[in-house]
Structure 1
Amino acid sequence: MKILCIIQARMGSERLPGKIMKMILDKPMITYTLDRTMTSKYIDEVVLATTENDCEDPMVEYLEANYYNVFRGDENNVLKRYVDTVNLYNGDIIIRITGDCPFIDPIIIDQVITYFLTNNFEFVRVDVPENFIRGFDVEVFTRQALEKVYDISRNIEGDSPYKEHVTLYMYKHPEEFIVGKFEGSEFYQKDYRLCVDTKEDFELVRLIYEHFKNKYVTSKEIVQFLDEHKEISQINQGIKQKHV
Structure 2
Amino acid sequence: MKIVCIVQARMGSERLPGKVIKPILEKPMVLYTLDRLSKSRYIDDIVLATSVENRENPLVDIVSNAGYNVFRGHESNVLKRYKDASDKYSGDIIIRVTGDCPFVDPVIVDNVITYFEMNQFDYVRLDIPESFIRGFDVEIFTKKSLDKVYDTVSNMKIDKSDKNSLEMYKEHVTYYMYKHPDKFKIGYVKGSNFYNKEYRLCVDTLEDFKLVEHIYDHFKNEYVSSKEIVKYIDKNPELCKINYNVKQK
Shorter-chain-normalised TM-score: which range? over 0.9
- Which residue of structure 1 aligns with residue 68 of structure 2? 68
The 5 Å alignment of 1:216-235 reads 216-235=223-242
The 5 Å alignment of 1:1-244 reads 1-156=1-156, 160-242=167-249
- Residues paired across the two proteins, number: 242
Report the alpha carbon displacement of residue 156 of structure 1 after superposing the two structures with TM: 3.2
SS in structure 2 of the partner of residue 163 of structure 1 = helix
Structure 1: distance between partners of 2:61 and 2:241: 35
TM-score calculated relative to the size of structure 2: 0.96
CA contact (8 A) 2:48 2:63 kept: no
Name the aligned partner's letter for residue 163 of structure 1.
Answer: K
Structure 2: distance between partners of 1:181 and 1:76: 27
CA contact (8 A) 2:11 2:17 kept: yes
Name the aligned partner's letter for residue 145 of structure 1.
Answer: S
Q: List per-residue Cα deviations over 1:136-185 (Å, max 9, x = no partner).
A: 01100000000000001111367611011000000000010000011011
Report the alpha carbon displacement of residue 233 of structure 1 after superposing the two structures with TM: 2.0
Q: List per-residue Cα deviations over 1:16-65 (Å, max 9, x = no partner).
A: 00000000011000000000011000000100000000000011012112
SS in structure 2 of the partner of residue 186 of structure 1 = coil
168-177 or 65-74: which moved more?
A: 65-74
Q: Give RMSD over aligned pairs.
A: 0.9
Name the aligned partner's letter for residue 187 of structure 2.
Answer: G
Q: Which runs of 4+ in 1 moved over 4 A?
A: none
Q: List per-residue Cα deviations over 1:95-150 (Å, max 9, x = no partner).
A: 00000000000000000000000011000000100010000011000000000000
SS in structure 2 of the partner of residue 180 of structure 1 = strand
Structure 1: gaps spanning 5 or more residues: none
TM-score calculated relative to the size of structure 1: 0.98
Structure 2: distance between partners of 1:75 and 1:31: 21
Structure 2: distance between partners of 1:10 and 1:171: 24
